[in-house]
Each structure stands twice: as C-alpha cells, then as structure tokens.
Amino acid sequence: MKFSKSLALIFGLLLVAGAAVPAVHAQDATDADEPAFTGHKEKSFKSGAEVSEFQAEVSRLMDIIINSLYSNKDIFLRELISNGSDSLDKIRFLSLTDESVLGSGEEANLDIRIKVDKENGVLSIRDRGVGMTKAELKENLGTIAKSGTSAFLEQMQKGGDMNLIGQFGVGFYSVYLVADFVEVRSKHNSEDKQWIWESKADGAFAISEDEGEPLGRGVEVNIYLKEEAQEYLEEDKLKELVEKYSEFINFPIYLWNSEEVEEDVPLSDEELAEQAAKAEGEEDEEDLEETEENDESEENDEDDDEVEDEDEEELPQTKTVKKTVWDWKTVNDNKAIWLRSSTEVEDDEYTKFYKALSKDDKEPLSYTHFKAEGDVEFKSILFIPEKPPSDLFDNYYNKAAALKLYVRRVFISDEFDELLPKYLSFIKGIVDSDTLPLNVSRETLQQHTSLKTIKKKLVRKALDMIRKLAEEGQDDDEDEEAAVAADDSADEEETKYDKFWKNYGKAIKLGIIEDARSEEHTSELQSPLQSR
C-alpha cells in the first residue's frame, strides 16, 4: 500500500514525540513478564554540560533520518566503522613523522572494537584513531553544516536513497535510525581533557568534560538503542553486518564475543569421597563374583600379581564442565585484495570490496585489476560505478578524483587531483605504491615525479576499461539484432554500456576536448564515442 508523504511524516513525528518510557532495570521490574529494557527516551544531558542547538540544516537532516521508517537501518554500523577507519588512517599517517603520537601499550593498537550491554540496551563502537577536540566535536557533530549536508537534503527531496548517506559525508547521523540517545566520548592528543558529546536528536546537543573510563586516545560511540532496534545487541547480527559491509576495512574489527567451552576442573572433596565409596562398593561385588577364579589363580607366580597391580586404574581427579567465556574476536578478514594476483580473486570478492570501498549497494559496471612494474611500481583496482555521484558536474574543476592512495598499505589521502583527469573523476578505486616515499606531506607528494608516471598508467588502464565496455556493448547490440530478426517479440534490454553512456557520456565528450593534446588518449576516447 502506498502512503502519502504527509501521512508518513505525521506518523514518524508521532513516534518521535510519543510518550517517554522510563528505563527500568531487571531488578526494578514489578511484573515478571515485562522486559528488563523499555527505552532511553528520558535519558538527559549531564549536569553542567554546555548545551547548544544544532545548525538548522543538521536538524532538518536528522528529522529526515529519524522519520525514514522504511530505510535500511543496518547502514548505521557501516558508517560508524567507516568513520573509525578514517580516524585510524589519520593517526597512522601522523605516526610516520612522529611515532610518539601512537603512545604505548594498548593505545598503539590500531583497531575497532564493538561491544554490547544487553542489560541496558547499549551498543558501543570504539576506535583508537586521532580522536576529536572539544572544538571539533562541536564543529563536526552539530553546528556547522558541511557542503554534503545540503547536497544530501536536495537528493532526499528528489526521492533519494538513504543507502547513499555515506557518500555525502553525513554518515554519522544515520545512528539516529536506531538510537534514542547517543554519546560520543573523545580524547585527542592535543588536549589533556577527555570530552563527551550527547544528543537525542531533539534539536540540541551538549558537550562536557568526560569523567568516565579514560580512553587514552580515540573515540567511543555509545548508542542507546530504540526498543525496535534491540536486534543490534545480538552478536550474530553484528558479525553478519561487519562481514557484509566492512569486511575489507584496512584495520582489524573486534567483537566482544561469548562462546561455550569445555574445561577440566578439580573434583571437590565431597565428589572425591563419593567417587571412592562408589568404587569401593563396585570392587566388593566384583570380589564375590570372582572368588572361584581367584582360588584357581593361586598357582600363578608373583610376576602376574605385579601386572595386575599395574592394570589397576586410578580414580579421576577432575571433571569436564561447560562454561561461557567472553573475549575479543576478529570479525573481518582484513584482506588487501589488491595485493593478490587478479587470477586468484573471484568476481564476488571484487563486488564486496567495491561495496565496502564506495558505500554503494549496487554492483560496479566494470573493473580492472592490474600491477604496474618498472621504474614506478604500484598495484591498483579501478571501478566504474553503475550510477554517478549526484554532484558529478557540480564544482567540476575543483573536484578531486575518487581514488584512495596508499603507500605500502599505509593510507595517504583520497583527495589527490593528480591521479586522474577531471573527466574520469567518477572512477573509484585504490592505488598502492611501493615507490613513493612514506614520510612526506601530501603537498610534497603531489610534486613527486613518480606521480606523473602513475597517472599516465592509470589513465591508460581506465580508458582501456571503458573501451572494452564499449566493445562488449557492440557485441550485445549485434546479438540483440539477431534475436529480434529471429523473433520480433524479443524485448529490448539495456546493456551495461547503455547505462555507462547515459550516465557518463557527457564526461567522455569533455575528455575529448580536455585531452586533445594527447593523441593516444583522444584515440581511446573516440572508441566509446563512435559506438554511439
């Protein structure tokens, strides 16, 4: 049944503004049939916290998220893990020039940890990344709407898909798909104090000094789940979502996991006495039954007696019991598939990697996986998304390429203009170089001579991928014409290249103009154009 937008909005607002239900712990429940957890809607800010109002567009954004009753709520975990991964990338990059930023002990472990508190209905996600200062908490999570916020709102007004939220840089707010209340605890190396940001998306947020357990460094997000979102407290559900969305995150993801194990424990004194008495009774019965046999064995020599003594079994001193053990368990394979040979990687692995990399729920139109050797060595995987970003031609000449640059598996940046020309900015993927230096700034790296060689090879491979897509499209057209000739009732299907040209044809035409000085590139670009 199709509901009107106004009816859906009213229904959503009624849910958000409904009567609050106080939190009840198991020991306070008066009715044995009532669940221990009933909600967090009355949870409030800490006393003395600095309270601020959300910037207007952020409030509008969260209204849309909260009232998107039919959205895929699972994406919140993907977004928070992605944010944690970005934070870990930043601290690892800083450590290249200053190892002291990592600290020592557990702080030096770059990972993401997920833990649930079923009794109180809280899901926690923790990273040991760069963390946020008090000013950054206020700027990033409340008062200053980034450019992506406006773009996302415009897209939603046109009937956009909530699954695309991460592509607009506003992924954190997806947490309110499942949360009544959110705490963000943060510690940054530049500040001695630890801060906590709190909000239940009702138009205001608060920041105060955090006197809880010291983080050392990084961010912990505590999500007080809605009653209808209690499924996210189940370990199997969380493991399923990590494997689905975040399997290829470049850091280990741990889940506080329980499992039943068998363990040998010593018997108590009472159990030992009971066991001895039981064994003694069984021996008396055996002695009565074997009296005749014993009389016949009197002629046996002493050696036989010694053998019998050796055969006597000692009574067990332990017993096996089952117990529940809690421990951190890795839930992602942490595989850098670009380091493997293309012949060893299956198609579905490329698809899963693309979805984790791009936050896109659709399969790519095409991909290429290659290794460049020679003076400059690097490995790369490039993808053509099925649909272009909504701002593909907005701010065209200031838009950075959608590629992530790694140096020996260390993330450097995803804002390089030098990796691909503007007309190929829709291509997503990664580049991992063994030649570029690690301990340099991004600005210095942009001037590195190896980068020009890398760009030349990337452009060639990207255009070759498009050319092959065009050739496949021509083959499909010929097959379709033959099918139509044989059967006039055959349905016309859109090929992959048809989709590509509809979404990226304008970019190819711009490429012919912009790359006119390169005869090689112009020739490659003419191929897909001629197929139209």
The predicted structure's pLDDT at residue 487: 52
**% residues pLDDT > 90 (the chain):** 22
Nearest-angstrom CA–CA distance, 489 and 491: 6
For residue 69, CA distances in Å to 16, 42, 63, 65, 261 come to 11, 22, 11, 8, 41
- pTM of structure: 0.64
Mean pLDDT of 497-507: 88
Q: What is the DSSP letter of 430?
A: E
Nearest-angstrom CA–CA distance, 509 and 396: 14
Q: What is the pLDDT of residues 230-242, one digit of tens each?
A: 999 999 999 988 8
Mean pLDDT of 469-484: 63
Give the model's confidence band at 10: pLDDT under 50 very low, under 70 low, under 90 confident, else very high.
very low
- Asked if pLDDT for residue 217 goes beyond 60, the answer is yes
Other CB atoms within 10 Å distance of the CB of residue 269:
8
Q: What is the pLDDT of residues 127-136, one digit of tens each?
A: 999 999 999 9
Task: Write down the mean pLDDT value for the chain.
Answer: 75
Residue 325, beta-bridge partner list: 259
- Asked if pLDDT for residue 379 goes beyond 90, the answer is yes
The predicted structure's pLDDT at residue 419: 84
Mean pLDDT of 482-487: 51
Q: Long-range CB contacts (< 8 A, 24+ apart) of 278-287?
A: 279/315
- Asked if pLDDT for residue 210 goes beyond 80, the answer is yes
Q: What is the pLDDT of residues 321-353, one digit of tens each?
A: 777 787 889 888 767 889 888 998 999 999 989
- Asked if pLDDT for residue 168 goes beyond 90, the answer is no
Tokens read off for 425: 């900015």
The predicted structure's pLDDT at residue 98: 86
The predicted structure's pLDDT at residue 482: 53
Q: What is the pLDDT of residues 447-471, one digit of tens each?
A: 677 888 898 899 999 999 998 888 8
The region of weakest confidence among 7-21, 153-167, 235-249, 404-418 is 7-21
Q: What is the pLDDT of residues 424-448, one digit of tens each?
A: 989 999 999 888 776 555 566 666 7
Cα angle vertex 299, ends 294, 304, to 5°?
75
- When comparing pLDDT for 421 and 68, which is higher? 421
Rounded to whole angstroms, the maximal C-alpha distance in the chain is 112
Mean pLDDT of 505-519: 76
